[in-house]
Structure 1
């Protein structure tokens, strides 16, 4: 009769725990979510969501613990039950922290950005995974210690295993650290036109293993990050202006007056051209070349867009031709004078 009563109490406690779990889910948790939704930050909402499933499971685990304790088992069984409860609590806490790990990583990024340490969003999954691994390792070591296992040996084994893994995956690790360097230094962003000794194109994607670049032939090239960080990178998209520079050769028969007029008018044309940057404009008679008198022209366009740059350069070239034509000056071309000696 006594045993039957104990069994009834055992199942009654479990049923009560299940009922409490449903009440907790429908009333307390829903109330907390409504309350946190009214606050200015979403961190408290994320905390409640992260703890929701572990708390529900805790009610069931604690219900089973109380149910087994009601059976008045021998002392050694009660000690084992206590160990099981502690282990379950550790696992449930780890579960909640893992659920909250993404929010933790996002908060870390926001804090670093507020401190003017700009970091790309691809750090979120990386930091989140790192936090998850750390939580799992810590929870495993605590549970192992609870059951009397040698934690020091476990940690030493992790160290040796980590070393072996690092040696086996050194290229992958190099690419990951390369991705970290690229993300923190920001030599380029998605959409930038970059040029390296081996590649030129537009960046389409930056991941931890590689960077995806679309070449001007519309081919996709996946470049390992460890390769990119060890190469000089020219970012053409971050130019403040584009350069126009060339030598204009005119014939040696050009008079000094015409030459001076051409230099002055070309410079005046560039200064008054809306597409030319006013800070740096050089137009000078530069040198006596083999077949020409060279006028050195050096300036920058306001635009950095390739198409607009070509139009601005074309406009400059046409205006220079107009100036030469107006002054009666001809463009020189490579020539050689041959003297024939008659006998």
Structure 2
């Protein structure tokens, strides 16, 4: 009997590790398949979710275009909507893995707060971007001047505004700097005043020059006839009588009218023998007898 007990005990010692190994193997196979399926499911959900988010973003953008939503608002809101949709997909995938989505959201919020504190300047730009969209001191396509930079607004994003200068240079301006500094917007009004500052000789007849210049303004088709045209004396300079030539043209025609009028003014003055003097200096030389003799340069 004692020998039988010893044999049973020896069998238990030998078979117990194998039983434990079999138990662990069963657990690994069962849990591993569950974990593997969860990972595959999560990857599929992530892929399909991101694809749907992209489609939904494009759909929202198309609806905005169909409803004639301002381009500035579209370029500002679409990136934000894209980020929100992708974050929703990520939260859904986390919950699909069986993790606590509320804890993930809380951790995400804490991380966002920490990042926000570290990027206070970027947050001020973001807030300024929202204010620019709401109050519309300018929009995409407007020609603006701010902080020594001028050009057409190409885009308004969540952090900065991009303008393109007349030379084709791309200038990126932080939204906070734009919103907190004076902005000259040439595109708000339909018409813009075109100024031509020029001078005529003191010997020329002003009324004749005035008549000639007014005819130039009248003949140009880009000059608006419903608004005043002005040709008056601006100042008496050292070597010329400076005139102020003023008229109004459409914003879209400004530079075309600018080049046309300057060329037409020069041609009209030449045809009517009205001179446009340039600064000159008269030199006088005194001899030993203190007699003044004008200096005549005969090169």
Query: Shorter-chain-normalised TM-score: which range?
Result: 0.5 to 0.7
Q: In the aligned structure 1, how far is the partner of 2:179 from the partner of 2:83?
A: 24
Match of 2:54 in 1: 102
Match of 1:158 in 2: 108
1:138, CA displacement in angstroms?
3.8
Change (3 A) 1:213 1:152: closer
Q: Is the 8 A contact 2:192 2:249 kept in 1?
A: yes
The reply to whether residue 133 of structure 1 matches residue 87 of structure 2 is yes
The reply to whether residue 244 of structure 1 matches residue 195 of structure 2 is yes
Change (3 A) 1:315 1:275: farther
Q: In the aligned structure 1, how far is the partner of 2:212 from the partner of 2:166?
A: 38
Consecutive unaligned residues in structure 1, runs of 5 or more: 1-72, 335-343
Secondary structure class of the residue paired with 1:281? coil
Match of 1:5 in 2: none
1:116, CA displacement in angstroms?
3.0
- From the two aligned structures, give the one with the greater helix fraction: 1
1:196, CA displacement in angstroms?
1.9
The reply to whether residue 299 of structure 1 matches residue 241 of structure 2 is no
List aligned pairs for 1:262-277, cutoff 5 A.
Answer: 262-277=209-224
1:113, CA displacement in angstroms?
3.0
The reply to whether residue 223 of structure 1 matches residue 173 of structure 2 is yes
List aligned pairs for 1:186-197, cutoff 5 A.
Answer: 187=138, 189=140, 194-197=144-147
Q: 1:168 aligns with which of 118, 122, 128?
A: 118
Q: 1:298-329, CA deviations, whole angstroms, 9 ceiling, x for partnerless residues?
A: 1135663636622322212432454564xxxx
Q: Is the 8 A contact 1:176 1:209 kept in 2?
A: yes
Q: 1:55-112, CA deviations, whole angstroms, 9 ceiling, x for partnerless residues?
A: xxxxxxxxxxxxxxxxxx99xx999988997897676445422211011111112223
Q: Normalization by structure 2: what TM-score?
A: 0.57
Q: In the aligned structure 1, how far is the partner of 2:174 from the partner of 2:93?
A: 35
- Figure out how many residues of one structure are paired with residues of the other and give that number: 247
List aligned pairs for 1:17-28, cutoff 5 A.
Answer: none
The reply to whether residue 113 of structure 1 matches residue 61 of structure 2 is no
RMSD of the TM alignment (CA)?
A: 4.9
Q: 2:264 aligns with which of 297, 315, 328?
A: 315
Q: Is the 8 A contact 2:143 2:185 kept in 1?
A: yes
Q: In the aligned structure 1, how far is the partner of 2:236 from the partner of 2:65?
A: 56
Consecutive unaligned residues in structure 2, runs of 5 or more: 1-25, 280-299
